[in-house]
């Protein structure tokens, strides 16, 4: 399984674009929004938590179809299915690899973009914490969506339609943490709920995703 993780990471970094593309998109969102809504610091400070979370979510979405599509095309997914590693484990590892190349950079880059969007000082810590807690859920939910659509030729758009509604609870609680943190309020409740959703998704969705992949490989 560790070998699989290393292989996936190597491929993501090497095969031009997968790595960094999400990050560049995140940066673009943070640049485009002030251009659209105007440069008033007060307005930006107010919408910054939401924009940063929506931006993280969209850049995560962007790279999802890479999780399984390439392996499905060249047959390595079939090999994985016959290997001793259970499919559930393979899905979890692939989601982890996706998180390491897209989620983690987003978490690290978010404070910089917070500066661009004039996020209040108290918000930075909570921004990083909420993204660190929430982006794993985005990766594993995305892996489930990618598993559902892996056999389809043009599944990208359909996958977005399937995945975005599933992202909503994470988005709501994640943005709420940052919003409250930036306003200097207590963040315990939304933070706990966000963590609960991530933990639940991590525990259960690999099974659903693996079931979907087995169906698609049939």
The C-alpha atoms of residue 128 and residue 119 are separated, in whole angstroms, by: 12
For 52-77, b/e burial (b = at least 16 CB within 10 A) is bbbbbbbbbbbbbbbbbbebbeeeeb
Among 91, 98, 97, smallest CA distance to 211 is for 91
Interface segment toward another protein; rule CB under 8 A; list 18-26, 50-58, 74-82, 208-216: 208-216
Q: Is 205 in the site for another protein (CB under 8 A)?
A: yes
18 contributes a contact to another protein by CB under 8 A: no
CA distance 187 to 173: 10
The stretch near another protein (CB under 8 A) out of 17-25, 80-88, 128-136, 167-175 is 167-175
Contact between 149 and another protein per CB under 8 A? yes
3-class state of residue 83 by DSSP: coil
DSSP 99: I
Q: Is 193 in the site for another protein (CB under 8 A)?
A: yes
Is 120 a binder of another protein (CB under 8 A)?
no
Judged by CB, which is closer to another protein: 62, or 143?
A: 143
* Residue 121 in tokens: 């000082």
Nearest partner of 45 among 171, 170, 183, 176, judged by Cα:
183
Rule CB under 8 A: say whether 208 interacts with another protein: yes
14 binds another protein (CB under 8 A): no
Residue 68 binds to another protein (criterion: CB under 8 A): no
Q: Can you give the binding site for another protein, defined by CB under 8 A?
A: 144, 148-149, 151-152, 155, 158, 161-162, 164-166, 168-169, 172-173, 176, 189-190, 193, 197, 205, 208, 211-212, 215-216, 218
């Amino acid at each position: 399984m560790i070998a699989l993780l290393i292989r996936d990471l190597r491929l993501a970094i090497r095969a031009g674009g997968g790595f960094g593309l999400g990050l560049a998109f995140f940066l673009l969102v943070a640049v485009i929004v002030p251009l659209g809504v105007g440069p008033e610091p007060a307005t930006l400070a107010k919408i910054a938590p939401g924009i940063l979370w929506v931006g993280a979510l969209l850049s995560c979405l962007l790279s999802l179809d890479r999780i399984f599509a390439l392996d499905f095309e060249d047959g390595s997914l079939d090999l994985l299915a016959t290997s001793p590693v259970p499919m559930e484990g393979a899905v979890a590892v692939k989601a982890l690899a996706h998180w390491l190349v897209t989620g983690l950079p987003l978490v690290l880059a978010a404070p910089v973009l917070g500066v661009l969007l004039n996020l209040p000082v108290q918000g930075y810590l909570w921004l990083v914490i909420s993204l660190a807690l929430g982006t794993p859920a985005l990766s594993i939910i995305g892996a489930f969506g990618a598993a559902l659509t892996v056999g389809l030729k043009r599944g990208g758009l359909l996958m977005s339609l399937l995945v975005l509604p599933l992202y909503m609870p994470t988005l709501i609680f994640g943005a709420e943490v940052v919003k409250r943190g930036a306003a200097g309020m207590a963040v315990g409740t939304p933070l706990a709920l966000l963590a609960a959703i991530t933990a639940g998704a991590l525990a259960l969705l690999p099974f659903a995703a693996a079931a979907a992949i087995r169906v698609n490989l049939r």
